[in-house]
Every structure is written in C-alpha cells, then in structure tokens.
C-alpha cells in the first residue's frame, strides 16, 4: 500500500472499529431481547476484530512517526527529523490525541484477554462482560474520531515538525504512561464483571476469584506507573523531590487508594462471604476515578506539567461520557445491588475481617480527602472566579495520620485470624515487634527532636516490619518441627505453600521500606543554592563537591552544556546538564545524581554568571532509594500472590459450569 494513503487506511480501520465495537456492545442486548443466545456470542468475535482494527490504526500512526510523515498533523506537532527512533515510536502517546488512542488500544487489549480467559472459565456471563467493555470502547472512539483524531492531514506538509516536548524526551515517557494506562484501564475489567454480576445475578463465590486477579493486575500496573512517574519527576524536573501533590498526580493516586481498599475487601468476600455490595461499589468507584483522571488530564481544566491543554469541547465530551458511565453503573447498582447480599457478618472486633473493614474505611477517607483537595479549587473557581491553591501542607496534614494508622493495621492484620483472635496469643506475638518499634521510635526522637511524625513513622515501620518477619520465622519453625526440613527448604516451601498470604506479606514489607524512604528523604534532606567557579568546593551534609568545569556538545536533536563535579570522598563524578532543543527553544535541565542505598547527592546546573561561574543547586536526600527498592519488593510480592490459587479458580469454574449444564 502506498505510504501516502496508509494513514487513511488506519483512519478507516478506526472508524470500522467503532462500528464493530457498537455491535460488540449491542449483540448481547439483542440476543436477550429476541431469545437468541447465538446472537450474543457475536460479541466475542467482534471484540477480537475490534482489537485487530484498533491495532492497525495504532500501527499506521507509529509508522507515520517513524517515517517522519509531517503531512499528518499529529506527527508534525510531536516529532521532527532529528528525534531519535526510540522517541518516535513512543510519541504515539506524547500528545492528547495519541494518548487517548493508547487508552482505547489498551482497553481493546484487555477485552481480548477477557475473551481468551472467559471462554473456559465463565462462558455464560462472558458476552455481557464483553458488551460492557464494548460500550466503553464506543465512548472513547467517539471522542477520538470526532473531536481528537490523530489521523488528520496537514497540507501542505511542513519540511520539519515542531519536535516532541523536551520534558517527554526521556525513557520515563516510554514506560510511565503505558504502565499508568494499563492500571487505569485495567480496572475496567472488574467494572465489567461487577455490572455483569448485577445484571445476571451472578453468584459471588464464582466471580469474586476472577475479579480479585484482574484487580490485582490493574493495581500492580498502576503502582508501577506511579513509581515510575515519581522516579521520572525526581531526576527530570530538577527540584529534588518526587511527589508534589500535583492535581494530576492526585488523579492517579485516588484510584490507587480505592484499588488498594478493593484488593483487601475482595479477600474478605472470598474468605468470609461478606461485603458483596460494598465491593461492587468500590469497583465502580475505582473505575470512575480512573475516568476522572482522564478528564482532569485531557480536559484542560488543570494547569500542570502533566496536563494537556485542549479545547472545551473535548472536556465537555469527556465530562458527559463520565457522567453517563457513573449514572448508568450506579443506577444499576441501586436497582440490583440487593441481590448481592452478604452471607456472613463480622463476629468479633478482634478479627482479620474487622481489621480489613477498618482498612477500607481509612483508605476511603484518604481518597475522599485527596478528592476534596483536588476538586475544591476547581469548583471554587467555577462558582466564584476565585483562584485557590491546595498544596502539600493540607495533604500532608491529612494523609500522614491516616497512613500511620494504616501502618499499625498492616502490622497487626496478618497476625489476626479470621472470625476471632485469641487476645493473649496476639499479645505474645506482638511483644517483640512492639519492643523493636519502641526502640526505633525512641532513637528517632533523640535524633530528630520536636517532630512527632518522624519517630511515629519509623517506630510503626519497624513495628510492622518486625511483625511480618517474626510471623514468617514462626511459620518456618513450625514447618521444621513437623517435617525436619533444612532451614532454606522450609523457608521456600512455607512461602510457596501459601503464596497468596506470603505474597501479601512481601507487599506489606515493601511498603515498610517505602515508608522509611519517605521519612528519611522528607525530614532529613539538605539543600544548598550557590554560585561556583571551576575549582570551587561545596561541603554539604558530610559530602564535599568540587566543580571541575563545563563542556559543550551536540547530541541527536539538542545542544548540551555538561558540568563535571567530583565527590572528594569517593572520587565519583556527577554530570548535570543544561540542554537546548532548537525546535522548541527552551533550555532544559538534566540532573546529575550519585546514588548509594543510604543517600543521593543530587545536582542541578543553573544559569551561567559572569566570570565563568555557574549557579548550582545541590541536595543530599537520605534513603530516597528505599522508595524504589520498596516498590520493587511490593511488585515481587504481587507476582508471588498472583502465581497461586490457579487450581482453586479452575475448580470453582468447573463447579459453576457443571451447575449451569445441569439446569
């Protein structure tokens, strides 16, 4: 096919995908009305075709970027001849139109996975699940094709493009948005399951196991996206931090909070047949917050380094679509939710299910607090015209106490059995962790002085970490006493014998490490802003930096001034940069970081000053690497948890299919 018409082929494929997605959404409805089950099955083949057509559209856009086809307006806006191939491919999601296309592409991919998995495990409900997904695809393709098309031509074609935003010319842009979208869109699958359960009165013991795994997958991707985003902001923006309570950061944090509550609450439903209706409410709310994040980023209502400024028509469409989804889903929940009633209830306040309920309460309060702080300034400006900024002081004041209590519950929860705990035994199990936590808090108080949050955070982190470790060691000792196994074999068999439980414990241990990183980097950071000439030395927080000078260079599509600093204690070199991208014209800073497990030395090269001197900002951030290390531990625990319980899920599916066949 002539490359001149390839983008039109992709545009046609996208229109065809919209039509087929409408068939995917409506075929089960028509099959139910006319009593024709075979008609409902059309939606499954339609879902596969929608993914293929959407992929064809995406491939044509990527091909236009790779071949520098500036007759495509989206390519001309977000690429140029000098842009490295690495970023030309990723430029698909470098702007408003392409990022929305990535959203719907990921949505069709998830639907394809649901079809593949559901044919064997839940064939009776699968057409309804796929129909819900199809309706979402129709909604997003309506926005893409009629208001935000990445296929539009720009004639005559310019000789070169405007270049990709320099902030996005970083490996973080390649990985952070797809991970975030895999998390956002991943919650559409539990959403479709929840609506299907309401519409078909699907018994919870059959769908809860499936919804748990999909929720965990979405939560894992969203966690990865948030961690990558924090790391990207840390080394790219040059302010020495990784989280600023930016409204768009909050937009990803809110579904993470409710998603965390959901994965805990589903466990209660699976083990104790409780919280059925509440879990469906959480599923709908979590996905709704994912849509809200899309609205905040794509509507232009926010001023943020993350947001895309667009015309009001697009924002109005997204708001209307979000309103329809909320109205329909919560309307179905109110009408049919009574059929999802709990079969049991909390029998003791000192039980694991009781602590999980309190966990849900705390995460819901945290989410509501972030939602209030994010939307209140927007509502105030819309109603009165007054501009108000809600910043870090509000969020820290509200969130720190909440998460300290969450840390406490996280330490106690895994040690408390279902239904009712033995208080005497629980005190025995918590004695050593309590002593360790008290010692850590006392030492921190002696070092920190008047700040209460540091000692409380460190004390609870050590308390929680010690409780997790001692519980695991206790289980190993019990196994060795029964089977006389070597220590390493007993440790491995204990973890693999209950992957769901110990995977969760590994996730909790990762959160403990992250908490220590937050305390260390938040309360003990040192910074200095100075003017330095070559040969000058800067002492800061026990480190001494010597400025060696600067050199200029030309690389790819930018010019750079690279400074060279030597850490006198170790001899290691740090090289911060200032870059200028000719097409954009704006200078960009690239930080230089020397990392060890205990601290980062973080340098930003500022403006030149007379006499060959340069302004320099230097930070020493203790324990900041603990955040990324803890995040990696969390994700490894999630992988361990997801690797278990497959046999049980297959057994439940077999029981359900047998019951259906017997009717």
Q: Are 66 and 85 in contact (CB under 8 A)?
A: yes
Distances in whole angstroms, Cα of residue 294 to Cα of each of 59, 103, 408, 607: 23, 9, 33, 36
Give 299 or 97, the one with higher predicted confidence. Answer: 97
- The SS3 of residue 81 is coil
pLDDT at 418 over 90: no
Q: Which of 295-304, 400-409, 537-546, 648-657 has the lowest mean pLDDT?
A: 648-657
Q: What percent of the chain has pLDDT over 70?
A: 92
* Paired strand residues for 622: 599
Domain boundaries, the chain: 1-169, 172-307+314-340+353-409, 422-517+634-641, 526-622
Residue with tokens 């000053």: 609
Q: Mean pLDDT over residues 44-70, rounded?
A: 95
pLDDT of residue 3: 52
What average pLDDT does range 207-218 have in this prediction? Answer: 89
Q: What is the pLDDT of residue 526?
A: 93
Residue 72: what pLDDT? 94
pLDDT for res 183: 94
Q: Collapse the DSSP code of 80 into the 3-class scheme (helix H, G, I; strand E, B; otherwise coil) and give the result.
A: coil
Which neighbouring-strand residues pair with 527?
Answer: 619
DSSP string, 567-604: ETTT--EE--EEEE-TTT--EEEE-EEEE-SSEEEEEE
Give residue-wise pLDDT tens across range 387-417: 777 788 899 899 999 999 999 998 888 788 7
Instruction: Give the pair of three-digit tokens for residue 193.
Output: 């399951």
* Mean pLDDT, range 501-525, rounded to an integer: 92
Residue 568's pLDDT band (cuts 50, 70, 90): very high
**651 has pLDDT over 70:** no
Q: Is pLDDT at 362 greater than 90 in this prediction?
A: yes
Confidence of residue 428 (pLDDT cuts 50, 70, 90): confident
Please tell me the predicted confidence (pLDDT) of residue 342: 60
3-state secondary structure of 420: coil
What mean pLDDT comes out for the span 256-273?
87
Q: How much is the pTM?
A: 0.91
Q: Supply 539's token pair.
A: 């002492």
Tokens of 568: 């006198």
- The top-scoring range by mean pLDDT among 230-234, 384-388, 553-557 is 230-234
Helices (H), ranges, 122-203: 126-146, 171-186, 188-200
Q: What are the tens digits of pLDDT across the range 106-140?
A: 999 999 999 999 888 888 899 999 999 999 999 99
pLDDT at 297 over 80: no
- Token pair recorded at residue 454: 């540091």
Q: What is the pLDDT of residue 341?
A: 66
Cα–Cα distance measured from residue 56 to residue 34, given in angstroms and rounded to the nearest whole number? 34
Kindly state the DSSP code that residue 552 receives in the 8-state scheme: E
With beta carbons less than 8 A apart as the criterion, state whether 193 and 117 touch.
no
Q: Is 540 helix (H, G, I), strand (E, B) or coil?
A: strand
Judge whether residue 659 has pLDDT over 50: no
Going by pLDDT thresholds of 50, 70 and 90, the confidence category of residue 594 is very high
Percentage of the chain exceeding pLDDT 90? 51
> What is the average pLDDT across 291-301?
72
| Confidence (pLDDT) at 353 | 81
Pairing of strands 587-590, 577-580: antiparallel
DSSP per-residue letters across 380-393: HHHHH-------HH
User: Mean pLDDT, the chain, as a whole number?
Assistant: 87
Omega of the bond prior to 156 within 30 degrees of 0, cis?
yes
Whether residue 527 contacts residue 53, with contact meaning beta carbons closer than 8 Å, is answered with: no
Residue found under tokens 């995908």: 17
Q: What whole-number distance in Å separates Cα of residue 630 and Cα of residue 626?
A: 6
pLDDT confidence of residue 343? 62
Residue 346 binned pLDDT confidence (cut-offs 50, 70, 90): low
Higher pLDDT residue, 330 or 3?
Answer: 330
Contact 653, 521 (CB under 8 A): no
Residue 329 has pLDDT above 80, yes or no: yes
Whether residue 383 has pLDDT greater than 70: yes
| Cα 641 to Cα 635: distance, rounded to the nearest angstrom | 10
Mean pLDDT across the stretch 572-580?
93
Which SS3 state, helix, strand or coil, does residue 50 take?
A: helix
Reading phi first (left if > 0) and then psi (alpha if -120 to 50, else beta), residue 201 is in left
What pLDDT shows up at residue 65? 94
φ, ψ at 291 (rounded to 5°): -65, -40
**Confidence at residue 647, expressed as pLDDT on a 0 to 100 scale:** 46
Cα separation, 203 vs 194, whole angstroms: 11
Q: Cβ–Cβ contacts within 10 Å for residue 58, how many?
A: 22
* pLDDT exceeds 50 at position 262: yes
Alpha-carbon Rg for the chain in angstroms: 27
Q: Read out DSSP for 220-246?
A: HHHHHHHHHHHHHHHHHS-SS-S----
- Per the CB < 8 A criterion, the answer to whether 449 and 376 are in contact is no
Is 63 exposed, middle or buried (CB count within 10 Å of its CB: 0-12, 13-18, 19+)? middle
């Amino acid at each position: 096919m002539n490359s001149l018409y390839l983008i039109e082929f992709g545009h046609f494929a996208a229109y065809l995908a919209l039509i087929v997605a409408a068939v995917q959404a409506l075929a089960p409805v028509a099959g139910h009305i006319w009593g024709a089950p075979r008609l409902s099955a059309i939606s499954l083949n339609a879902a596969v075709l929608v993914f293929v057509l959407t992929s064809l559209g995406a491939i044509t856009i990527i091909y236009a970027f790779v071949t520098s086809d500036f007759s495509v307006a989206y390519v001309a806006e977000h690429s140029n001849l000098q842009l490295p191939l690495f970023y030309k491919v990723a430029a698909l999601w470098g702007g408003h139109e392409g990022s929305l296309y990535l959203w719907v592409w990921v949505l069709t991919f998830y639907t394809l996975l649901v079809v593949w998995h559901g044919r064997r495990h839940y064939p009776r409900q699968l057409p309804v699940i796929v129909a819900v997904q199809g309706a979402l695809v129709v909604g997003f393709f309506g926005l893409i094709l009629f208001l935000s098309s990445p296929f539009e031509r720009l004639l005559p074609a310019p000789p070169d493009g405007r270049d990709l935003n320099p902030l996005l010319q970083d490996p973080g842009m390649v990985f952070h948005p797809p991970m975030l979208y895999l998390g956002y869109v991943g919650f559409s699958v539990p959403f479709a399951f929840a609506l299907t359960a309401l519409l078909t009165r699907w018994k919870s013991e059959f769908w809860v196991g499936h919804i748990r795994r999909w929720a965990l997958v979405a939560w894992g991707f969203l966690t990865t996206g948030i961690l990558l985003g924090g790391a990207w902001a840390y080394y790219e923006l040059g302010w020495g931090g990784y989280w600023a309570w930016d409204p768009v950061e909050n937009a990803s944090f809110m579904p993470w909070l409710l998603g965390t509550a959901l994965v805990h609450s589903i466990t209660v439903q699976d083990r104790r047949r409780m919280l059925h209706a509440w879990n469906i409410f959480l599923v709908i709310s979590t996905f709704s917050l994912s849509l809200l994040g899309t609205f905040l980023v794509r509507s232009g209502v926010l001023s943020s380094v993350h947001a895309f400024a667009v015309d009001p028509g697009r924002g109005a469409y997204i708001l209307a679509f979000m309103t329809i989804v909320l109205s329909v889903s919560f309307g179905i929940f109110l009408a049919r939710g009574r059929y999802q009633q709990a079969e049991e209830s909390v029998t003791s306040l000192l039980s694991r299910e009781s602590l999980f309920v309190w966990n849900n309460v705390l995460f819901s309060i945290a989410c509501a607090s972030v939602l209030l702080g994010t939307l209140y300034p927007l509502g105030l400006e819309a109603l009165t015209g007054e501009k108000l900024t809600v910043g870090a002081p509000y969020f820290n004041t509200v969130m720190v106490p909440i998460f300290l209590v969450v840390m406490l519950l996280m330490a106690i929860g895994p040690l408390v059995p279902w239904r009712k705990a033995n208080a005497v035994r629980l005190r025995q199990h918590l004695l050593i962790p309590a002593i360790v936590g008290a010692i850590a808090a006392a030492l921190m108080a002696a070092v920190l002085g008047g700040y209460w949050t540091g000692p409380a955070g460190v004390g609870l982190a050590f308390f929680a970490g010690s409780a997790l470790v001692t519980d695991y060691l206790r289980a190993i000792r019990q196994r060795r006493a029964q089977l006389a196994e070597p220590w390493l074999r007993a440790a491995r068999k204990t973890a693999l014998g209950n992957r769901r439980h110990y995977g969760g414990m590994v996730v909790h241990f990762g959160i403990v490490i992250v908490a220590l990183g937050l305390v260390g980097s938040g309360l003990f950071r040192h910074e200095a802003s100075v003017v330095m000439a070559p040969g000058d030395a800067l002492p800061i927080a026990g480190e001494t930096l010597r400025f060696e000078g600067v050199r200029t260079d030309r690389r790819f599509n930018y010019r750079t001034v690279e400074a060279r600093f030597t850490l006198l204690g170790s001899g290691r070199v740090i090289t911060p940069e200032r870059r200028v991208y000719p097409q954009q014209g704006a200078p960009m800073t690239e930080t230089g970081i020397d990392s060890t497990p205990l601290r980062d030395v973080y340098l930003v090269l500022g403006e030149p000053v007379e006499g060959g001197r340069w302004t320099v900002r230097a930070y020493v951030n203790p324990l900041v690497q603990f955040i990324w290390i803890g995040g990696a531990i969390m994700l490894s625990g999630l992988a361990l948890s997801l690797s278990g319980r497959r046999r049980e899920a297959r057994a439940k599916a077999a029981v359900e299919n047998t019951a259906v066949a017997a009717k």
